Amino acid sequence: MIKTALARINFEKRQGNTERARELYFKAFNSALEKKDPLAVTFISVQYARFLAFKCNDIGRAIGIFNQSISVPQCANKVLFLSFVNFVRGLNIPDCLDQIKSVFVKVEEILNSDSEAKTQNLEQLKDVCTYYVAYLEEEAVDSEQLKEAKATKERLMEKGYLPSSDVLKTIQTQIFSQKEKLGGLGKKRQNTESVAELEKATKKES
């Protein structure tokens, strides 16, 4: 189903029929959502959103596509959530940080629920929480943001959504040391202030 739909879409795109391609993306996306097919939803969401943002210049609708996708618990998976995060980071929009946080918050909401999606994708969703903490620590540029990162890590660890401190540290080191990582969270931190310096500032303020 996915291959057939995308083949038709790509044909229209090659012909320069942007509006027709958009219509076909819309139909394929809604069909995947109705069937609650996580693979199809993830695959089509990524391509559809990029098409809307970069070909149609409709960033709002592109973000809306991802938000629709993650709102279906049965489609919740690591690839979908981190693809959304990576997409938003690449847009460089004013509310980028808040938008990305809302994606991670959705993951936590699913983990806090008793839904079937939590049971089916438990380990994947827990893995996304590790990326959440890594993201907050990577983006922290002042003591307040570092406090938020620490509070989030403590909360998620208390709920059992993160591994032990030693294991978490090892995982985060691997994430930060890789130049390419799903979700765009593998870059080495480039902040002018180091985590150690921020921690000292936090202790002085407390």
Q: Domains of the chain (ranges plus CATH)?
A: 1-75 (1.25.40), 97-206 (no CATH)
The Cα 134–Cα 154 span in angstroms is: 13
CA separation for the pair 145, 152 (Å, rounded) = 11
Dihedral of CA atoms 159, 163, 46, 187 in degrees, nearest 10, equals: 130
Q: Which amino acid belongs to residue 162?
A: L
pLDDT in tens, 33-88: 999 999 999 999 999 999 999 999 999 999 999 999 999 988 889 999 999 999 99
> Which is nearest to 139 in space by CA: 189, 73, 64, 103?
189
φ/ψ of residue 63, rounded to 5: -65, -35
Cα R_g (the chain), whole angstroms? 19
Please report the pLDDT score of residue 69 as a whole number.
95
Residue in 85, 183, 195 with CA at minimum distance from that of residue 139: 195
Cβ proximity of 9 and 18 under 8 Å: no
pLDDT tens across 148-163, in order? 999 999 999 999 999 8
Strand, helix or coil at 188?
coil
pTM of the model: 0.79
Can you give the pLDDT at residue 191? 38
Span 109-113, mean pLDDT? 90
% of residues, the chain, pLDDT over 90: 54
Note the pLDDT of residue 185.
45
